[in-house]
Amino acid sequence: MKKTTIKYEIDLSNPPALTAAQKAELKALWAAPKSTIDYSDIPPLPEDFRKKAVRNPFYRPTKTSTTVRIDSDVLHWLRSYGKGYQSRLNAILRREMLASIKIAQAKHG
């Protein structure tokens, strides 16, 4: 039996617009008092849950090889911390990307 893989790409900086029905549902949920939420099927989380939480260990973003021209002093600084300078560079870029996405989402409501 042949397996078929379906891939979807979503531009997180430009997500698809919500439909009128989706907007109405979200508005109704947001307006509902918290006391109307049924938590009976959800166990309460311990206070330290978030402290112990880890990123999904199975998530591995795909990597793309590229050539990037950066200032020599920036490269020297990245390498001065030892092995893994490319991973550090990626982490810095990811942090900035996520911050930018968060700002864009806040602007667009």
Helix/strand/coil for 6: coil
Residue 17 in domain: no
What residues contact 81, with CB distance under 8 A and at least 6 apart?
A: 88
Asked whether the beta carbons of 12 and 101 are under 8 A apart, the reply is: yes
pLDDT beyond 70 at 85: yes
Residue 26 in domain: no
Residue 2 in domain: no
Model pLDDT, residue 99: 94
Render pLDDT for 2-41 as a digit per residue (tens, 0 to 9).
Answer: 888 888 888 888 888 899 999 999 999 999 998 888 888 9
Question: Would you tell me the crossing angle of helices 72-79 and 85-107 to the nearest 10 degrees?
Answer: 110
Q: Count of domains in the chain?
A: 1
Residue 78, domain extent: 70-109
pTM recorded for the entire structure: 0.47
Residue 108 in domain: yes
